[in-house]
Amino acid sequence: MPKWLDNAVFYEIYPQSFKDTDSDGIGNINGITHKLDYIRELGCTAIWLNPCFKSPFGDAGYDVEDYLTVAPRYGTNDDLIRLFHEAHRRGMHVILDLVPGHTAVTHKWFRESMKAEKNQYTDRYVWTDSVWEEPQGMGSLKGISDRDGCCAVNFFSHQPALNYGFYKPDPLKKWQQPMDSEGALATREALKDIMRFWLSAGCDGFRVDMAGSLVKNDEDGKGTISLWQDVRAFLDREFPEAAMISEWGEPDKSLQGGFHMDFLLHFGPSHYNDLFRCDKPYFSAEGKGVISAFKAKYNESREKSGGRGLICIPSGNHDMDRLARRLSPDEMKIAFGFLLSMPGAPFIYYGDEIGMRYVENLTSVEGGYGRTGSRSPMQWDRSLNAGFSCASPDKLYIPLDPDKNRPDVKSQLADGDSVLSEVKRLISVRMDHPALQSGGGIEFLDVSSEEYPLCYIRSAEGEKILAVINPSGRTYVIRLPFEVGECIYSNGGEISVGADTSVPPRSCGFYRI
Ligand code: BGC
367 in Cβ contact with 322 (< 8 Å): no
Q: With CA atoms as reference, report the closest residue to 250 among 292, 208, 305, 294.
A: 305
Atom of ligand 1 nearest to the CA of 156: 5
The CATH number covering residue 146 comes to 3.90.400.10
Per the domain annotation, does 171 fall within a domain? no
What integer pLDDT is reported at residue 499 of this predicted model? 77
Q: Is 162 in the pocket of ligand 1 (CB under 6 A)?
A: no
Task: Classify residue 379: in a domain, yes or no.
Answer: yes
| CATH code of residue 17 | 3.20.20.80
Break the chain down into helix, strand, coil percent, rounded to 5. 30, 20, 50
Per-residue pLDDT averaged across 100-117, rounded? 98
Q: What is the pLDDT of residues 47-69, one digit of tens each?
A: 999 999 999 999 999 999 999 99
Residue 498: what pLDDT? Answer: 79
The percent of residues in the chain predicted with pLDDT above 90, rounded, is: 96
In a domain, 174, yes or no: no
Residue in 449, 464, 394, 427 with CA at minimum distance from that of residue 42 = 427
What's the confidence (pLDDT) of residue 17?
Answer: 98
In a domain, 496, yes or no: yes
Which residue of 59, 207, 318, 374 sits with most ligand 1 atoms within 8 Å of its CB, as the best mutation to test the pocket? 59
pLDDT tens column, 385-419: 999 999 999 999 999 999 999 999 999 999 999 99
Q: How far does the centroid of ligand 1 lie from the alpha carbon of residue 46, in Å?
A: 21
Taking 80 as the threshold, does the pLDDT of residue 241 lie above it? yes
Judge contact between 201 and 92, C-beta under 8 A.
no
Q: Compute, in angstroms, the gap from residue 492 CA to the centroid of ligand 1.
A: 37
Higher pLDDT, residue 137 or 199: 199
118 in any annotated domain: yes
Same domain, 344 and 481: no
Using alpha carbons, list the distances in angstroms from residue 14 to 103, 318, 349, 365, 375: 19, 7, 9, 13, 7
Beta-carbon-side half-sphere exposure of residue 37 (alpha carbons within 13 Å)? 1
What is the rounded CA–CA span in Å between residue 238 and residue 245? 18
* Domain co-membership, 110 together with 91: no
Q: Is residue 172 part of a domain?
A: no
Q: Which domain holds residue 109?
A: 102-161
pLDDT bin (cut points 50, 70, 90) of residue 82 is very high
**Strand pairing of 205-208 and 10-13?**
unpaired
Regarding whether 297 and 156 lie in a shared domain, the answer is no
Same-domain pairing of 150 and 223: no
Rounded (10°) CA dihedral 225, 226, 231, 234: 140
Q: What does the pLDDT read at residue 375?
A: 98
pLDDT at 312 over 80: yes
With a cut of 90, say whether residue 309 has pLDDT above it.
no
293's enclosing H/E stretch is helix 292-304
Whether the CB of 210 sits within 6 Å of ligand 1: yes
Instruction: Kindly state the percentage of the chain with pLDDT values over 70.
Output: 100
Average pLDDT of the residues in 210-234: 98
pLDDT at 117 over 80: yes
**Which of 376, 408, 431 delimits the end of a domain?**
431
Q: Are residues 282 and 209 in the same domain?
A: yes
Q: Are residues 31 and 148 in the same domain?
A: no
- Which helix or strand (DSSP H or E) is residue 11 part of? strand 10-13
Mean pLDDT of 451-477: 97
Same domain flag for 219 and 86: yes
151, 142 in Cβ contact below 8 A?
A: yes
Q: Is residue 199 part of a domain?
A: yes
Question: pLDDT class for 374, splitting at 50, 70, 90?
Answer: very high
Is any atom of ligand 1 closer than 6 Å to the C-beta of 366?
A: no
- Give yes or no for residue 318 CB within 6 A of ligand 1: yes
Q: Is the pLDDT of residue 9 over 80?
A: yes
Report the number of distinct structural domains present in the chain: 3
Residues in the chain: 513
Note the pLDDT of residue 398. Answer: 98
Residue 493: predicted pLDDT: 84
Inform me whether the pLDDT recorded for 494 exceeds 90: no
Residues 494 and 450 in one domain: yes
| CATH code, domain carrying 480 | 2.60.40.1180
308 pLDDT band (50/70/90 cuts)?
confident
Residues 403 and 315 in one domain: yes
62 CA distance to ligand 1 centroid (A)?
A: 6
Residue 60 Cα to ligand 1 midpoint, Å, equals 9
How far is it, in rounded angstroms, from Cα 507 to Cα 331? Answer: 9
Pocket test for ligand 1, best of 267, 319, 366, 372 (most atoms within 8 A of CB): 319
- Indicate if 242 and 344 belong to the same structural domain: yes
pLDDT of residue 388: 98
Q: How confident is the model at residue 184 (pLDDT cuts 50, 70, 90)?
A: very high
Interval 208-216 mean pLDDT: 98
Model confidence pLDDT, tens digit, residues 341-371: 999 999 999 999 999 999 999 999 999 999 9
Cα–Cα distance measured from residue 322 to residue 349, given in angstroms and rounded to the nearest whole number: 9
pLDDT of 244-300, one tens digit each? 999 999 999 999 999 999 999 999 999 999 999 999 999 999 999 999 999 999 999
With 0-12 / 13-18 / 19 or more C-beta atoms within 10 angstroms meaning exposed / middle / buried, residue 430 is buried
Q: Is 155 in the pocket of ligand 1 (CB under 6 A)?
A: yes
Higher-confidence position of 10 and 307:
10
Q: Is the pLDDT of residue 306 over 90?
A: no
132 and 31, same structural domain?
no
Mean of the per-residue pLDDT values for the chain? 97
| CB within 8 Å of 340: residues ≥ 6 apart | 9, 346, 423, 426, 427, 429, 430, 436
Q: Same structural domain for residues 245 and 342?
A: yes
pLDDT in tens, 23-51: 999 999 999 999 999 999 999 999 999 99
User: What's the pLDDT at 497?
Assistant: 83
Does the pLDDT at position 223 exceed 90? yes
Whether 151 is in a domain gets the answer yes
pLDDT tens sequence across 122-165:
999 999 999 999 999 899 999 999 999 999 999 999 999 999 99
Where among 431, 456, 471 does a domain terminate? 431
Q: How far is the CA of 154 from the centre of ligand 1 (A)?
A: 10
The CA distance from 187 to 165, in Å, is 9
CA of 13 to the centre of ligand 1 (A): 14
Give the mutation target among 97, 210, 262, 371 for probing the ligand 1 site: most ligand atoms within 8 A of CB. Answer: 210
